[in-house]
Amino acid sequence: MTDTRPEVTPDSTPAEIDARLVELAWAMAREMAVLEAKGATPDQQAEAELAYARLEAESEPLELAYARRQWPRWYWVPNGHIHREYKECNTLWPSTERNLYPAASDMTGEQVVVLRGWHVCTVCVPAAPTLPAFRTPGTAGVAEQEASGDCPNRTPVQGGVDWRRAYVTGSCECGARGVSITPLGYLRKHPHERKKLDADQKARIEDPKLIGAPDGSVLRVDGEVIRTVVTAQNNYVRYMEYAATWGNTAAENRAHAKVIAEALAAKAGVTVEEIVARLQPRVDRKVREYNRT
């Protein structure tokens, strides 16, 4: 596949240069692994050597650009915080793994807090706890959570925490209930309930296999949630069979079947009469089978 991204040059932005340097570093590591592999053939090693040289040639002017311009760089410790320059933070050991975070390159401490919120190291940015953005996962974190469906909020709604149980839970402004609470009183990571409900409703409308009420809400009939078109069709046939064979509940079963027929009609974009006509042969067959027993 052809790479259509703009070429990164020594005059590109710091974030673009550092992002490309990270890509090149990983690519060079892969080629070096081939060069050092005992099982690699001479042809494979020759190809890897050429590839490594090309990558190194692209990387060199970008590294020189950083050496010349000396923009601020930030590093992210896996499962940890974002730190300032590589050797400046006294909370890190020499052996601590840290990875260049290109999205924050050339940013001030305050800008990085806006971007990443509470993930920023407070030793590297002492003023971080005083900034409003530090109480959030940052703009980048919110975007990631929205893409994943997680709720960015960690503060329980007032009066929404049940402290009476050993396993403390709370409620979130997103509508989530029963979310576990940390020892400091914050909500743990949880799905965004309203977005989840909206996504589920959209799926029931757009997914050809799923079904809901005509407005996309959950289809409940006789206390049962019906989730798929196939289940709805089967249940319609079942209720109509019951209506024809169980006289004392005929009206109730026809009412259940009517609700399902309306949902199927809305799903297919046809009339209720068309749905009834399509499924009537199955109903007749079930009634005949019942009468033979």
Tell me: do 262 and 220 sit in the same domain.
yes
DSSP letter assigned to residue 84? S
Tell me how many domains the chain contains: 4
Domain around 243: 204-292
Residue 238's pLDDT is 95
Listed residues 191, 220, 255: the one ending a domain? 191
Name the burial class of residue 230, with classes exposed (0-12), middle (13-18) and buried (19+) by CB atoms within 10 angstroms of its CB.
exposed
Same structural domain, 224 and 281: yes
Residue 143: inside a domain, yes or no?
Answer: yes
Residue 3 in domain: no
CA–CA separation, 51 and 206 (whole Å): 47
Partners of 75 in beta bridges: 83, 100
Q: Is the pTM of this model over 0.85?
A: no
Within a domain: residue 227?
yes
Q: Mutual orientation of helices 229-245 and 272-292 as an angle, nearest 10°?
A: 60
What three-state secondary structure class fits 228?
strand
- Contact by Cβ (8 Å): 193, 242: no
Residue 173, token pair as written in the block = 């402004």
Integer Cα distance of 131 and 142 in angstroms:
17
The residue behind tokens 């709805």 is 232
Are 65 and 89 members of one domain?
no
pLDDT of residue 184: 73
**Is residue 30 located within the same domain as residue 107?**
no
**pLDDT < 50: residue spans in the chain:** 1
Residue 128 placed within a domain: yes
Q: Does any domain span residue 111?
A: yes
Give the pLDDT score at 165: 64
Domain co-membership, 208 together with 161 = no
Query: Is 6 a domain residue?
Result: no
Residues 120 and 84 grouped into a single domain? yes
* pLDDT per position as a tens digit, 240-269: 999 999 888 899 999 999 999 999 999 999
